Structure 1
């Protein structure tokens, strides 16, 4: 029966892929509009097998993913395609990091500079969606729409009290007073150092938002702060009066208006999705590039770990193989590594760094930073001969930590479980969570953390060319920086996006005509289906069967809280970590 089920599932996949292929063959005609309906998570690159045939929901994830790379390429194609008259952006509740939004915003500004128009529409706007909308010629909102424009904030949970109640004893090892990844486990509030770096980070990102809003609305930046600080715009009507919106209008009325100046009021709007445009050979002819040489684009997205990676993690073995494959292609003249990672396993980071250094000896390696390239992510980046970051990128976090727990009292007093041990040598079970750690064991682990930190400093000093060690040490200690400040202190070379990095790589390689090729190559769709179905999808289905939808939702919500701290990523593994906080959520 199980074999029959597998064949049925594979058959379903084939039918879905076939259907998707047919629907994607929509041709681009005259007077078309590039329709960017933003709903779901904007990731670095599109994950093809998203199974979004049930609308915007995916079987395998809460929302379908949208690829930043594909969005920007579609906008680039639309710039010179005479059939595309403008862009219509629908804000439908999307998620994205600030650097992702900056990259998309800048690309839309390029499009607008061609004298084509951009309309943005939404029922609700928050700081992120409105920041993106400021790239449009006109910004529209539903007449009874809602506005949340009250500045940026960060709310972090601290679990010291919970851990004490559970009678767990965390043992922390770190170097760097700004290394805040472990703070939720040992404090009940932000440290002074952590608060300082978070305030500066929020300030730098808000400065970019404020500048764009002021430019778009034609008001002074001081007035933008007054609007946010006084809750002056919480409704569509208030926002329009303050100049934040061009007009309040219903969606169907706006579509009628666009229909009138494109295809005619009695015709259907010709809306083209980014995916459809990128499948049109006429639109993408200039994007393909020319000449035999290639610039390889290698994506590094997610947590860094040893071994095999996935679509949302960076495995040291997998990533090395991607680099080697690109390097061994005789037509590849240079490599651009796109990093969007908060770091992870220290040894895996070093393995990847070493391979990148070896590749750079043969062909140039240029770095493009996404939303986050911090801690182990920055360790990787330091291997590049040139580094680009967006002003809103989060980077730095040059620090190291390790954490272990003594759960002896928890097991004994909360679970009525005792453990006994037999060893050949006194420290054979070092790191065992069922007994207290000795002072000797603790000193050895702290020594390793300090050794890894020294190695981290060595790598950055070599890669970035700091002449004086004290200059580097003063900006390290685990501190995070915005891309803007990172350029000022020498952690990055230039403010810019992925396209700038590709051009710089071609310049280093001394090639003018080239094609861009992506690594890793897209996985076979059937294998993607098997990988997805064997993991989260099955867990989700089983969870709902066993706990009911509401029960499973509660368990997931608890898990999402746990993800805000390094618990799930660190303490159950041995090793030393170069990692910033799980997610810095700036809202």
Structure 2
């Protein structure tokens, strides 16, 4: 995946350590992904900023949602287009329920687990009340941690008395009014408003397979390459 921490963190390290780079820009266009990946990226930003003090701006393109926004909120400033989609703050587990389907063929699966909830996400076994309760408790807990982190990072900028943990998506303009982003703009407007700068893309970059898939249309590319398409590590020199 293009936006995995294994690819993004080295790009950030290159951008921060380059002595010619004065401003690190995170160009984000993603519906999200694994929160642990966003956590690694956010921690890298925090560590690298201490080691190489530079302003960091996150620029959201079409979408900066869920784990993508989780990483973006660790930047000093968040910029989004007025038509950008921002938010989806929370957590979700969406396992398939295949037990009823395989039962049509008189097939079932035997599961031997060391604990009663060890296999609670197994799609081939019937869902119990306990497994339902555990799944909901888990996503509620992770979602609450996301909101707590949002308040810790952007508390003074957030609009009061708003439930940010509903999981909903806002437009860029709505997100700005709520304090989720700081201004409306784009990478082009940032460069235009910063005279005498040169941009350099530290990656990660799409593979040749992704470029080939792009020629077949974005829908095909999403199928071949994966759901996320974050572009990180642009530097302003």
TM over 0.5: yes
Task: State the shift of 1:522 in Å.
Answer: 5.4
Listed as ranges, the gaps of 5+ residues in structure 2 are 228-237
* Contact preservation (8 Å) 1:319, 1:352: yes
Q: Over residues 367-408 of structure 1, what are the superposed CA-to-partner deviations in whole Å (9 max), with x where a residue is unaligned?
A: 111111122222122111111111111112222211223311
* Contact preservation (8 Å) 1:457, 1:472: no
Q: Over residues 166-217 of structure 1, what are the superposed CA-to-partner deviations in whole Å (9 max), with x where a residue is unaligned?
A: xxxxxxxxxxxxxxxxxxxxxxxxxxxxxxxxxxxxxxxxxxxxxxxxxxxx
What CA distance in whole angstroms lies between the structure 1 residues aligned with 2:157 and 2:197?
36
Task: State the shift of 1:424 in Å.
Answer: 3.8
Classify 1:445/1:418 alpha carbon distance in 2 versus 1 (closer, same or farther; 3 Å).
Answer: closer
Aligned to 1:450: 140
* Contact preservation (8 Å) 1:336, 1:501: no
SS across alignment from 1:343: coil
* Contact preservation (8 Å) 2:90, 2:144: no
* Contact preservation (8 Å) 2:120, 2:131: yes
Aligned to 2:233: none
Aligned to 1:383: 74
1:439 to 129, 143, 165: 129
Q: Over residues 285-338 of structure 1, what are the superposed CA-to-partner deviations in whole Å (9 max), with x where a residue is unaligned?
A: xxxxxxxxxxxxxxxxxxxxxxxx23xxx2122111211121122222220111
Classify 1:365/1:467 alpha carbon distance in 2 versus 1 (closer, same or farther; 3 Å).
Answer: closer
2:202 to 513, 519, 523: 519
Task: State the shift of 1:513 in Å.
Answer: 4.5
What CA distance in whole angstroms lies between the structure 2 residues aligned with 1:318 and 1:495?
28
What CA distance in whole angstroms lies between the structure 2 residues aligned with 1:425 and 1:397?
33
Classify 1:407/1:393 alpha carbon distance in 2 versus 1 (closer, same or farther; 3 Å).
Answer: same
* Paired positions, count: 218
What CA distance in whole angstroms lies between the structure 1 residues aligned with 2:70 and 2:165?
12
Classify 1:457/1:426 alpha carbon distance in 2 versus 1 (closer, same or farther; 3 Å).
Answer: closer
What CA distance in whole angstroms lies between the structure 2 residues aligned with 1:370 and 1:391?
10
What CA distance in whole angstroms lies between the structure 2 residues aligned with 1:532 and 1:388?
26
Aligned to 1:460: 150
Classify 1:337/1:418 alpha carbon distance in 2 versus 1 (closer, same or farther; 3 Å).
Answer: same
SS across alignment from 1:431: coil
Aligned to 1:427: 117
Higher CA-based Rg: 1
SS across alignment from 1:322: helix
Task: Identify the structure with bigger relative contact order (alpha carbons < 8 Å, sequence gap 6+).
Answer: 2
TM-score (norm 2): 0.77
Aligned to 1:325: 14
SS across alignment from 1:444: helix
* Contact preservation (8 Å) 2:27, 2:59: yes
What CA distance in whole angstroms lies between the structure 1 residues aligned with 2:198 and 2:12?
17
What CA distance in whole angstroms lies between the structure 2 residues aligned with 1:481 and 1:374?
9
* Contact preservation (8 Å) 2:7, 2:204: no
* Contact preservation (8 Å) 2:16, 2:49: no
What CA distance in whole angstroms lies between the structure 1 residues aligned with 2:149 and 2:161?
11
1:409 to 100, 116, 141: 100
* Contact preservation (8 Å) 1:359, 1:365: no
What CA distance in whole angstroms lies between the structure 1 residues aligned with 2:29 and 2:205?
18
TM-score (norm 1): 0.34
Q: After superposition, where does 1:502-581 map in structure 2 within 5 Å?
A: 502=191, 513-520=196-203, 528-529=207-208, 531=209
Classify 1:440/1:466 alpha carbon distance in 2 versus 1 (closer, same or farther; 3 Å).
Answer: farther
Q: Over residues 129-150 of structure 1, what are the superposed CA-to-partner deviations in whole Å (9 max), with x where a residue is unaligned?
A: xxxxxxxxxxxxxxxxxxxxxx
Listed as ranges, the gaps of 5+ residues in structure 1 are 1-308, 507-511, 541-558, 570-587
Task: State the shift of 1:453 in Å.
Answer: 1.2
What CA distance in whole angstroms lies between the structure 2 residues aligned with 1:329 and 1:486?
32
More strand by share: 1
What CA distance in whole angstroms lies between the structure 2 residues aligned with 1:389 and 1:440?
41
SS across alignment from 2:22: strand
